[in-house]
């Protein structure tokens, strides 16, 4: 992979974006086929593979920092946009921390109702439209 240099902007543009999209799409297609067949274990392992994928990391950073309509809007950290060097640093940080990522867990947020009472939403998925 291309490392940091004085010409970081050229190395960012020179990344094989088409190859990254093909790799990620192929993995996503494999997940879809595994779910279609009903092989949940295979689908889960492929999803983990996508999380560790270099292609997915670079494409996610590119989507958020270049292609997204809100790319100039400050995020929760107060930063408005990333330079090319900061993008490479972010990819390295994500690569280092990809193995120990844990989700935050489910939060129950009370929803106020018209009559003044509150309702706690049900956890899990609803089966609307099936049957």
Phi-psi region of 88 (alpha: psi -120 to 50; beta: other; left: phi over 0): alpha
pLDDT score of 19:
95
Could you tell me if residue 8 is inside a domain?
Answer: no
Could you tell me if residue 44 is inside a domain?
Answer: yes
Cα–Cα distance, 64 to 94 (Å, whole number): 14
Give me the average pLDDT of each 10-residue run along the chain (131 residues).
58 89 95 94 92 89 80 69 82 82 74 86 54 41
Could you tell me if residue 32 is inside a domain?
Answer: yes
Could you tell me if residue 86 is inside a domain?
Answer: yes
The domain in which residue 48 lies consists of: 17-71+79-100
Q: Report the number of distinct structural domains present in the chain.
A: 1
End-to-end alpha carbon distance in the chain: 50
pLDDT score of 130:
45
Q: Is the pTM of this model over 0.85?
A: no
């Amino acid at each position: 992979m291309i490392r940091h240099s004085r010409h970081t902007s050229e190395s960012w543009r020179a990344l094989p974006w088409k190859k990254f999209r093909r790799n990620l799409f192929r993995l996503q297609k494999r997940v879809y086929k595994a779910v279609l067949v009903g092989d949940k274990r295979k689908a889960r392992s492929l999803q983990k593979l996508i999380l560790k994928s270099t292609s997915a990391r670079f494409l996610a950073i590119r989507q958020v920092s270049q292609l997204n309509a809100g790319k100039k809007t400050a995020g929760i950290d107060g930063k408005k946009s990333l330079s090319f060097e900061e993008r490479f640093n972010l990819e390295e940080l994500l690569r280092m921390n990809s193995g120990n990522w844990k989700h935050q867990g489910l939060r129950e947020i009370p929803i106020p109702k018209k009559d003044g009472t509150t309702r706690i939403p049900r956890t899990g998925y609803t089966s609307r439209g099936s049957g």
